Amino acid sequence: METLAADLRTMVRTPLTDAHVERLRALGREVEVPAGTTFVQLGQPMDRFHYLLEGEVEAVDSVTGGRYGDGATLGPGQFVGEIGFLTGANSMLAMRTVQDSRLLVVDREPMLECMSQVPEMSDIIVTVMAARRRRLIESNDASLTLIGMDRDRDIRAIAAFAARNRIPFRTLDVGDGEAGEIAEVCSIAKHEPAVLFGKDRVVADPTPRKVAALFGLDLDLDEAVVHDVLIVGGGPGGIAAAVYAGAEGLSALVVEDATIGGQAGTSSRIENYMGFPTGISGGDLCWRGEVQAMKFGTRFAVPRRAASIERLSGGAFCVTLDDGVRTCARAVVIATGVQYRRLPLDRLEELEGAGIYYAATEIEARFCRGTDAVIVGGGNSAGQAAMYLSRHARCTHLLVRGDSLADSMSSYLSERLGADPGIRVRFGTEIASLEGRDHLEEVRLKGDGVEAGDDRIDTRATFIMVGAAPNTGWISDLVRTDDKGFVLTGEPVGSDSPFATSCPGVFAVGDVRAGSVKRVASAVGEGSVVISRVWDHVQTVLRSQDSRG
């Protein structure tokens, strides 16, 4: 038997033990599959686990129809699938038998139950499946093709959504030869932006929601199903709550309107989070937490925005989403965090996605090449963005309205900014106006720090990272908030729990909570601890229902 995973040459392979396979035999069925049979279709829900007993199978390149990757195949003792299997997402690759094969097939639900009962088997499967997703992301052979990202803001929005939600994709410029060939095959206009799934499926009027549906992330939600806990918001606090809820056996659903990881997920490097001495990107940190939560059975629905919430007569809560779908739970954790405030600038909204950005990830960094980058803000997020973008831009300008970073940024970060020759920190400086036609071309400056003849910057990439407005417009009057919109919890609302709101059964964690420490570690801690109170509330509700029943 091979000692290396066939699709991951650098990863040591730990096979399932004979005892593990016997557990699978008790749950599944053997299936004979002739050579050349595609037994997993691209975009098909991953509702079965396939373990190879005999024969050989290959992943299918979504574009060419040939063998995917570097020619490796799977043999006896290996299994099919990637991490989306945990949530029943859609397959990102088709799978085909190379020779007559015998597979052990287990339906997803009993397989997940078995994994929860046998953690050693679960660890092997989850590790390999997560590594396969990473391999898909790192390759340029993805089933999602984006044409014209550099020219079209809608395509850029899809790229940002896909990247932050770990959806593999590849990009082509509208002038590439392959893009021209695709236009002919798919009967679409040449030199125009487009989104394709697989070889020739054109996504009409593409949006992040449509892309999410292709990969099974946009879950169908049944109002009749009452979850134990609904976690609104997929930032660090929400993910931590998701992990602990699943670990405690609560049925949990996370709804997130944009990106699992929230604002923290857009951070290029977090260096002060315990356990990562060389730093870790916010996206990677939150991705690990998401995988951990999925392992425990928590489900994630993205992109789904909460529009309103109401308390039902029986004590449960129902959240209405932006598409009118309703989902219910016995308890709710508000973890919607904050969003950067918009600056009061003419044409700001018009240029958003066309030179104005609110996150500094790999997607946005590519638009800094050959131009100066401008970052507005004096907090840690702005400092981390400056450090990251300085590797891509000609010069990175950090505009700070005040005269110091001492009160708003960690000292280690401000010291690095001052020592980096590619970064210019400009105190007492603000943006006066945005210039450009279809895309940002220049920012004009104002303030005490602006010297004569130095009042403008030629730039095609400006990042707004100022202030923090809580995402609480959807909660109406159900829970009390302070005068800035942050959710009040604990003593101010008469509770002995620091995370309980004025409405029993509704809790708040992370940046959205009034008085919270605005740090990733704090949000993770709050999300972890709150579940003990959620558990108590859910058990009280269930006992009450039993007594009435």
Give residue limits of the domains in the chain. Answer: 4-118, 144-214, 226-339+475-548, 348-464
pTM comes to 0.88
Tokens representing residue 458 in the block: 């030629």
Q: Whole-angstrom Cα distance, residue 212 to residue 89?
A: 10
- Distance CA(108)–CA(114), nearest Å, equals 10
The answer for residues whose C-beta is within 8 angstroms of residue 415's C-beta and 6 or more apart is none
Radius of gyration (C-alpha) of the chain in whole angstroms: 25
Q: Is 186 helix (H, G, I), strand (E, B) or coil?
A: helix
Q: What is the pLDDT of residue 452?
A: 78
- Each residue's pLDDT expressed in tens, for the chain with a length of 549 residues: 333 334 444 334 578 999 999 999 999 999 999 999 999 999 999 999 999 999 999 999 998 899 998 888 999 999 999 999 998 999 999 999 999 999 999 999 999 999 999 999 999 999 999 999 999 988 877 899 999 998 898 999 999 999 888 999 999 999 899 999 999 999 999 889 999 999 999 999 999 999 999 999 888 899 999 999 999 999 999 999 999 999 999 999 999 988 788 878 777 778 888 898 888 888 899 999 999 999 999 999 999 999 999 999 888 999 999 999 999 999 999 999 998 889 999 999 999 999 999 988 888 998 899 899 999 999 998 999 999 999 999 999 999 999 999 888 999 999 999 999 999 999 999 999 999 988 999 999 999 989 877 899 999 999 999 977 899 999 989 999 999 999 999 999 999 999 999 999 999 999 999 999 888 999 999 999 999 999 999 999 998 887 776
**Is 530:242 a contact under the CB 8 Å cutoff?**
no
Contact of 505 with 537, CB cutoff 8 Å: yes
Per-position b or e across 7-32, b if 16+ CB within 10 A of its CB? bbeeeeeebbeeebbebbeebbeeee
- What pLDDT, on a 0 to 100 scale, did the predictor assign at position 2? 34
- Confidence at residue 549, expressed as pLDDT on a 0 to 100 scale: 60
Sign (positive/negative) of CA torsion 368, 370, 371, 372? Answer: positive
CATH number belonging to domain 144-214: 3.40.30
Question: Furthest-apart CA pair in the chain: how many Å?
Answer: 79
Distances from the Cα of 302 to the Cα of 31, 306, 342, 467, angstroms: 34, 11, 24, 26
Q: Which fold has domain 226-339+475-548?
A: FAD/NAD(P)-binding domain (3.50.50)
Beta bridge partners of residue 393, listed in sequence order: 369
Q: From 3.30.365.10, 2.40.50.140, 2.60.120.10, 3.40.1670.10, which CATH number describes the 4-118 domain?
A: 2.60.120.10
Name, in order, each residue with C-beta under 8 angstroms of 313's C-beta and a sequence gap of 6 or more. Answer: none
Angstrom distance (rounded) from CA 501 to CA 492: 9
Tell me the CA distances in angstroms from 197 to 61, 63, 130, 139, 398, one per residue in order.
Answer: 12, 9, 22, 16, 39
Please report the pLDDT score of residue 4 as a whole number.
32
pLDDT at position 6, please? 40
At 384 the three-state DSSP class reads: helix
Q: What is the pLDDT of residue 511?
A: 94
pLDDT at 269: 79
Asked if the domains 226-339+475-548 and 348-464 are classified in one and the same CATH topology, the answer is: yes
Give the β-pairing of 338-339 and 469-470: antiparallel
* H/E stretch holding 246: helix 236-247
Among candidate residues 66, 58, 75, 53, the one with its CA nearest the CA of residue 3 = 75
The encoded tokens of residue 211 equal 């892309």
Return the bridge partners of 8, or none. Answer: 5
Selection from 113, 115, 136 nearest residue 7 by Cα = 136
- Class at the top of the CATH hierarchy for domain 348-464: alpha beta
User: What's the length of the chain?
Assistant: 549
Q: What is the distance between the alpha carbons of residues 296 and 307, in angstroms, rounded to a whole number?
A: 27
